[in-house]
Chain A
Amino acid sequence: MTGNEAVAYAVKQADVDFISAYPITPQTIIVERLSEYVSSGEVDAEFVPVESEHSALSACIGASLTGARVFTSTSSQGLALMHEVMYIASGLRCPIVMAVANRALSAPLNIHGDHSDIMGSRDSGWVLIFAENPQEVYDYIIQAFRLAEHPEVLLPVAVNLDGFTVSHSSEPVAVLEDAVVRSYLPRNPRPRLEYEEPSSFGVFALPSHYFEFKVEQERVLRRAGELVEEISRAYPNSHGRLVKLSKFNEDGRIAVICMGGTTGTVRHALKHHGLEDFSLISLKLFSPFPGKELLEALSEAEGVVVMDRATSPGAALPPLASNVAATLYEGGVSLPLLSVVYGLGGREPTLKMVLEMLDKAEERLRARGRAVSRMYLGYGGGVA
């Protein structure tokens, strides 16, 4: 199945109660499949086809506050339109699961893959997971429900899959039995809207209290990171467990850090082209950022290449690189860092491009000493 179909299949097996979404490429197939499941009765859920993504996430918040298991999905402009409501979903502690088929942001309009959409909302207090292929998409969606609804978490979780390269690529996906998924996802009671137990949700807080709300929310998001191991250990398919990061070629001196579908291309390059000097760190959990685990993974590294599929115009570094740099600084580690921006608007890095990048990486890292250098991979057709 494709990445999108894997999402829909996992959501169906999760016994979801409520789905609300609005069509946008390349996410649309997810909701098309889910609508079919709902209309055929394969899943007993309400599908609310709203008039905008803003309303989709708003309806999900309302539904989530009734205690329902809730799912939505979107991409690009749709996610940007949801931006306001994303902060409210996390602030109101709604365990919504959302699939984001990552796509570039306009202008110019572009329907193809990059991570600009989700990176625009990276401070919204959601758990952000990146999947590399349809199998991971399937496994992570199911685990996302368990993590989101954990009584100590109650936070929304977004599972990211690269638009087209993962959302539309068809691969064999090992799925669990329905009953196995059901028993992995128990129903935990949580505060909800009920006449007999009246509560007020979405109050306003003055300077006397707002700060405490936000710091507490950050603490809970950190706690979600700690609980990843617990919820993934219980996942019935041991090969599909959500990890914060995975490593390949651990002995390589130079670590390449990457998220999403391109990780596969980099792994292929290292594996089949004898590039033993390089290791690969495939980051699955972007928020909360797994700094401790990353420092451990980089303990033997002599340099680091960070691949961002988004830019942060005007910032010191793009999103992933800035998190890595801050983590190194916090750990008192001084490593030369090469920040690579690649794949904007669906310009997929080919194997040849990745090999060229790796070829030049060592030279760049050495040339600048213990500092930061930058590269655009694929810009103007090559390495800039």
Chain B
Amino acid sequence: MQVSKLLDLYGREGLSPGHSACQGCGATIAVRQVLLAAEPPYIVVSPTGCLEVISTPYPYTAWRVPWVHVAFENAAAVASGIEAALRVLERKGLGRRHKIIVIGGDGGTFDIGLQAISGAFERGHDLLYVCYDNEAYMNTGIQRSAATPIGSVTTTTPAGKRERKKDIVSILVSHGSPYVATASPHLWKDLANKVRKAQSIEGPTFLHIVAPCPRGWYYDSSLTIKIAKLAVETRVFPIYEVENGKYRINYLISRPRPVEEYLRLQSRFAYLLRPENAALLEEFKRWVEERWNQLLKLAAAFPP
């Protein structure tokens, strides 16, 4: 069922308030939205990361839904096991199938968990993998990941990262996933409907959500939604979906805001904005432009 108004999501909280996430945490806003939209019955699997730590300090748990964490690199493998086991238990009358939702950060998805994700997607397990992308290892104190954009300062890239962000969506599309999409918490309706759509499709689906992090991106915690919005409106984080290889840009940004509007609000880019680093800033802009143009070409070549 399509989500058209907030009331459609009322009373479906999966993640309780009172957890220990930072004020303005984009990840928990994204997760809350995912679970408000998710159709029960479902089981949540998380790799190690901020989400796991802030939600389950024993003897407390913020999860109102079944949840499991095993280790950092294996959430997709754990999910594969749950999905397949419930299939046979249902057949034997010893259990019932649930929808499986994996929710991991960018470290557990782009880097250490990629092999297990690749395996799960290749085997075709029926699951939704959600990546809340805050573009660095925030739980351990803001180290660079493959999702960190070029020019961003982290504790392991004190002079700004030199490499581009890994294109995780293309990797999952290349696995033949029937549905891969991006979303932003400021577009809650789009996000909710993408969760519904992904869950309605049999097979491994993927949702990549931009999750600004006040602590790691160095901005005031009141600005999370504004920054997510700017990421989309500057074309830094395009909102699109790929269904069976057909590309649809959900928010066609015809007149993008200047990238600097997005960068200036975050001190992680202060280094990038220094006059002596103009070349690096140009490289950042080139990355944004090239990705957008590539997306336009893909959408034209493979329309829905």
Contacts and interface: CB of A to CB of B under 8 A. Distances in A.
B80 A196 contact: no
Nearest to A55: B77
A54 B67 CA distance: 20
A55 B70 CA distance: 11
Contacts of B73: 54
A46 B88 contact: yes
Nearest to A16: B88
A202 B69 contact: yes
A251 interface: no
Interface stretch (A169-177, A204-212, A269-277, A293-301): A204-212
A296 B40 CA distance: 57
B47 to A, nearest CB: 10
Contacts of B270: none
Q: In which size bucket is the chain A interface?
A: 35 or more
Interface in A92-141: 92
A62 interface: yes
B89 A61 contact: no
Given A45-B88, A48-B81, A92 B70 contact: yes
Interface stretch (B116-124, B212-220, B254-262, B275-283): B116-124
B87 A46 contact: yes
A201 to B, nearest CB: 4
B77 to A, nearest CB: 4
Interface residues of B, number: 48
B65 interface: yes
A324 B86 CA distance: 44
Contact of A88 (B52, B70, B91, B122): B70
Interface string A39-63: 0000011101111101110111111
A48 B74 contact: no
B85 interface: yes
A185 to B, nearest CB: 13
Interface in B58-88: 58-59, 61, 63-71, 73-74, 76-82, 84-88
A88 B42 CA distance: 23
A17 B90 CA distance: 11
Contacts, number: 164
A237 interface: no
B80 A50 contact: yes
A203 to B, nearest CB: 4
A63 B85 contact: yes
A193 interface: yes
Contacts of B66: 193-195, 197-200
A59 B84 contact: yes
B71 A58 contact: yes
B82 A193 contact: yes
Given A44-B88, A50-B77, A200-B61, A67 B116 contact: no
A84 B43 CA distance: 23
Interface string A62-81: 11111110100000000000
B94 A198 contact: no
A9 interface: no
Contacts of B41: 194-196
B43 A58 contact: no
Contacts of A65: 68, 82
A187 interface: yes
Given A18-B81, A193-B68, A203 B56 contact: yes
A187 B67 contact: no
A201 B68 contact: yes
A85 interface: yes
Given A58-B74, A66-B86, A52 B98 contact: no
B53 A204 contact: yes
Interface in B179-231: none
Nearest to A189: B94
A279 interface: no
A55 B88 contact: no
Nearest to B67: A200
A200 B45 CA distance: 10
B21 to A, nearest CB: 14
Interface string A18-53: 101000000000000000000000001110111110
Contact of A195 (B40, B45, B85): B40
B5 interface: no
B304 interface: no
6 contacts: A17-B89, A18-B85, A58-B70, A63-B82, A63-B84, A209-B59
Shortest 9 CB-CB distances between A and B: which pairs?
A62-B81, A59-B81, A195-B41, A51-B119, A63-B85, A55-B77, A202-B69, A58-B74, A203-B56
Interface of A: 17-18, 20, 44-46, 48-52, 54-56, 58-68, 70, 84-85, 88, 92, 187, 192-206, 209
